[in-house]
Copies of this chain bind each other. A is one copy, B any other.
Amino acid sequence: MIVRPLPHQPGSAGTAGSGLALARSALSDAATAERRSATLGWLADRARERPMTVRRTPLDELDGWRSDPATGTIRHHTGRFFSVEGVEVRVDGGAVPCWRQPMLNQPEIGILGILTRTVDGVAQFLLQAKVEPGNPRGYQLSPTVQATRSNYTGVHNGRPVRYLQHFLQRGGHRVIADVRQSEQGAWFLQKRNRNMIVEVGAQVGAEAGFRWFTLAEIHHLLAVENIVNMDSRTVLSCLPVGVDAVPARDRFTAALQASMARTDGRHDMMTVLSAVTEARTSTETRTRPVPLRETTGWIRRDGRIRHESGAFFEVVGVDVRAAGREVDGWSQPMFAARGRGLAAFVVNETSGVLHVLVQLRAEPGLVDVVELAPTVQCTPATLQSLPALPAPPLLDLVEKAPAADVRFDCVMAEEGGRFLDTETRYTVVETTDPAEPPGYLWVTVGQLQELLRHSHYLNVQARSLVTCLHSLSTPAPRRTL
């Protein structure tokens, strides 16, 4: 494959916020297969230098954590961090109209922040090699800063968080993105994090454990299993990427570029916004707290909580020993999904513009009930073990798509600070069928980017997929000879 050089634009230094510096970064020629290997080697080195060991431990034996005798709620003795609580969910007219389940309750809003700088007209992003106890593959690329409020108010009694000051005191720095976004609405009760991208001067360097990457390098790493962590994916989805500075390589890339540039598509923006308002107004999903002990169908035994069917997820405990963290060791409960998740965008090109089929999806833990979600979002193993659950529309199309229609396909973990070995297959599948089922909308990538300037429009799986879509604008890595 021939990678076209970026057009030389003398005098146009460009900032990360400018389309040009971002486009150059997404198309950077310097992103080679060797650079990708070097990053993987660096992550492996970090794992050797600062290993983390994770040991499964019964929930009742977690140091510092207590189960409330009356309700069963599991919380830290300080009352901080998060708790595991019970909820009852009612969905009028749903396939399962009422159920109970454990949920993670973490009301604090943390910061997920990525620093960006522009060097020689190309935007770079500062990522950190970081391990979390739940990561299926040790060290991953995480945002510059990944801080709970406890982190930066000092509840951990740990070391200060590096680079955090750039996000707390932003005087003089340019803010590229700053939104609060939801996390897994099936598992978290109203959890949100603040997603930020802040531009700093070219003189800001990378400390040990940090490296500057171009977008093209990150895009290449998105194609490797479990390297770019969930927090990086969600923050990067807020980047206003547009790459129409260069001619497209092929029909698909041309349609993707056209889609990124369009905030009107098959539906104008007001129609998309109105559909969200309609869904949020009409959806009758109500979530109320119940004692964790009374979550019917869930069994607490042998130091963990699981569903009687064996499906969905388990609540388990872990003891963690780590080097080079704010603290040297801790214990905590985690959620462990039973089976790999599937998150798919079905896309369609019509008249040269790529459209993405998004779902107006209610999730019990969302702050605002409904967000735009992947076309297909489910756990296929759960559907197999509980045949009474209806299969989601288009699941067959995604699972049986011929290889030629699969534009992106990679397994990546959900956030390893709360989820143990919990992976999702992220995929983008092209179809020639432009049908729009009820409850779904065809939108352009530009419309999704416009919505991502605001909070709570796209759920976390959809945000990961937006970053995956962005990555398809970058040519495959060149091999230097």
Q: Using CB atoms and an 8 Å cutoff, list the residues of chain A in contact with chain B.
A: 17, 109, 170, 175-180, 194, 269-271, 273-274, 277-278, 280-281, 453-455
A194 near B109 (CB under 8 angstroms)?
no
Q: How long is the Cα–Cα vector from A194 to B281 in the complex, in angstroms?
A: 8
Q: A111 to nearest B CB, angstroms?
A: 8
Residues of B within 8 A of A281 (CB): 109, 180, 194
- The SS class assigned to the A binding surface is mixed
Residues of B within 8 A of A273 (CB): 178-179, 453-454
Residues of B within 8 A of A271 (CB): 175
Given the known inter-chain contacts A175-B271, A270-B175, please indicate yes or no for A180 contacting B453, CB distance below 8 A: no
B453 near A277 (CB under 8 angstroms)?
no
- Residue among A17, A175, A176, A280 with the highest chain B CB neighbour number at 10 A: A175
A179 near B454 (CB under 8 angstroms)?
no
B274 near A175 (CB under 8 angstroms)?
yes
Q: A164 to nearest B CB, angstroms?
A: 14
- Residue among A177, A180, A194, A274 with the highest chain B CB neighbour number at 10 A: A274
Residues of B within 8 A of A277 (CB): 178-180, 194, 455
B278 near A180 (CB under 8 angstroms)?
no
Closest to A274 in B: B178
Q: How long is the Cα–Cα vector from A177 to B269 in the complex, in angstroms?
A: 11
Q: A183 to nearest B CB, angstroms?
A: 15
Q: A368 to nearest B CB, angstroms?
A: 8
B178 near A270 (CB under 8 angstroms)?
yes
Residues of B within 8 A of A278 (CB): 178
Q: How long is the Cα–Cα vector from A179 to B281 in the complex, in angstroms?
A: 10
